[in-house]
């Protein structure tokens, strides 16, 4: 586990980016406020993880899944975030499925190209053998 409490904090660059995206242009935030938000975000993530882990343990599983996290959000009384989280999860799953299908298509195309190349090489080999046989036949006729 973590050796120091600071090890559990989220990266400052990530927190800063999230804060900048949430605030209107031209609004600045002090270093102290950014640190407080970072600690609060870390505590939230740890609490949500702990609640989700309880749901996984009830299901006699060691792996947390999306359903555990959604159940934890409801238990933590963050019901208003459940619907947007479900939508984001569906978008993520669709993107992953699209990437997986694209990878499969790419692999199929590569396999098909390899087979075509292999066939061409076999045909070239057959052509060379036929030419050699013709030359041998010509030499035998000459002799």
Q: Is 96 helix (H, G, I), strand (E, B) or coil?
A: helix
Q: What is the pLDDT of residue 77?
A: 94
Q: What is the pLDDT of residue 95?
A: 94
Q: What is the pLDDT of residue 101?
A: 87
Q: What is the pLDDT of residue 52?
A: 96
Q: 83 vs 5, 6, 58, 107, CA distance in Å?
A: 32, 32, 23, 36
Residue 36 CB neighbours (<10 A): 12
User: CA–CA separation, 143 vs 141, rounded Å?
Assistant: 5
Q: Which residue is listed with tokens 């080999």?
A: 125
Element (H, E) at 60: none
CATH 1.10.20.10 assigned to domain 1-76? The reply is: yes
Predicted confidence pLDDT, tens digits, the chain (143 residues):
566 766 777 888 898 899 999 999 899 999 999 989 988 998 899 999 999 999 999 999 999 999 999 999 999 999 999 999 999 999 999 999 998 888 888 887 777 777 777 777 777 666 677 777 766 666 665 55
Q: What is the pLDDT of residue 112?
A: 74
The one-character DSSP state at 65 is -
Q: Which residue is listed with tokens 């060691």?
A: 62
Cβ atoms of 50 and 56 within 8 Å: the answer is no
Cβ atoms of 19 and 29 within 8 Å: the answer is yes
Q: What is the pLDDT of residue 24?
A: 92
Q: How far is CA 77 from the centre of its chain?
A: 29
pTM above 0.85, yes or no: no
């Amino acid at each position: 586990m973590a050796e120091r409490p600071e090890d559990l904090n989220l990266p400052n660059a990530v927190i800063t980016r999230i804060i900048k995206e949430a605030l209107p242009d031209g609004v600045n935030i002090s270093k102290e406020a950014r640190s407080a938000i970072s600690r609060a975000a870390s505590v939230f993530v740890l609490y949500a993880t702990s609640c989700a882990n309880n749901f996984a343990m009830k299901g006699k599983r060691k792996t947390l899944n999306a359903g555990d996290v959604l159940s934890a959000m409801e238990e933590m009384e963050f019901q208003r975030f459940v619907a947007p989280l479900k939508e984001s999860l569906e978008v993520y799953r669709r993107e992953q499925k699209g990437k997986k299908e694209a990878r499969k298509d790419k692999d199929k195309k590569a396999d098909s190209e390899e087979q075509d190349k292999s066939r061409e090489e076999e045909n070239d080999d057959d052509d060379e053998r036929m030419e050699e046989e013709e030359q041998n036949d010509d030499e035998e006729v000459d002799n």
